[in-house]
Structure 1
Amino acid sequence: GAIETTARQAEAERGCVATSSLGRVFDAAAFLLGLCRENRHEAEAAMAVEAAAGGISAEAYPYCTTFAGRIVRMSLAPTIECMVHDVAAGADVGAIAARFHETVARMLAATAMMACETNKLSTVAISGGCFANRRLLGRLVELLERRRLKVLFNRAVPIGDGGVSLGQAVAAEAMFRCE
């Protein structure tokens, strides 16, 4: 089926595109879990993964984060590999989705904490469409605050593209004022 084909492509590193978008990773998770084969609207797959996770508590899957100077590379390849194994073993989809969320939150928290430590910072700003996911946002904030970091995130403005659009409009207005 589709999952087997995707697994073969990943193993051969053919037909796979690297991404820096967490949204695409949620799309992949939804596909692997059989929750959404194709987005019919913005974030449909990601919302399906969040809904599947429900209120289930879970341990994180393995992930890989490497730091080289100011360059950070995060990889969920070990996570995806474990998810494929769990799906093939017939594990509960909700439990897998919960573990996926925990993994992403821990990976992002570890990266933010390392950046704060390296740069002697105590504040983390979180933004982007994936943080419309309340489970992910809540867990990430919890992990960061536990380390006594101040966490900033959108509250009055949409956290995704709507906030970006507002920011662009404000910047454009400021540019016109200066002319």
Structure 2
Amino acid sequence: MLTFALAVVLLVITPGPGVLSTAGFGAAYGFKLSLRYVIGLFLGTNLVMFAVVSGLAAVVLSLPWLRTFLVCASVGYLLYLATKIGFAGTKVAFIEASAPPGLLGGLFLQIINPKAYAVNTSLITGFGFAPDNLIYEVSVKFLIHAAIWIPIHLVWLWAGVILHRLELPPRTQRVINLAMAVAMVGVVGLALWSTFGENA
């Protein structure tokens, strides 16, 4: 059980689409507007866990065309989020950047996020501690995951909020937003490489 908890910490705390966008929106828009997005992320990651437990994720991801579609949708959405963060608070923007995506935006990201499926599959299928009682083990895993996931994402959000509250000069804020956006684009590159690079 402790090994599972440590795995959750290491897998969730590492930069990925969820935590990077959480910090980015916190920096760009503050706590209140961004919290709805984080709630959506949490609901989404739990839906992915249910999909893994039920076997639906294995069926869906076994179809190469559907997996490719999900990766392309994920990449497109991550680029949209990167643009939204990168141009938040600037006068020149390719898209409307008055607020971050809300609850549905966070939910949608997790549903199409390849990292969410990989992480949750690893956590659910590995690190067994109650082989004779699968329902108990899965239930405890959900609870431990939530108990770790929520504070980690709130810390990332708060880190972004601190940057937001520093009232930095517009140019500095713009640089921070662009840096967050570049990090998101880096995640996009890794997602593409991990999906298509393996098959090259």
**Coarse TM-score class (shorter-chain normalised):** 0.3 to 0.5
Query: Taking structure 2 as the reference length, what is the TM-score of the superposition?
Result: 0.30
TM-score by length of 1: 0.33
The answer to which structure, 1 or 2, has the higher relative contact order (CA under 8 A, 6+ apart) is: 2
| Greater share of residues in strand | 1
Q: More helix by proportion, 1 or 2? A: 2
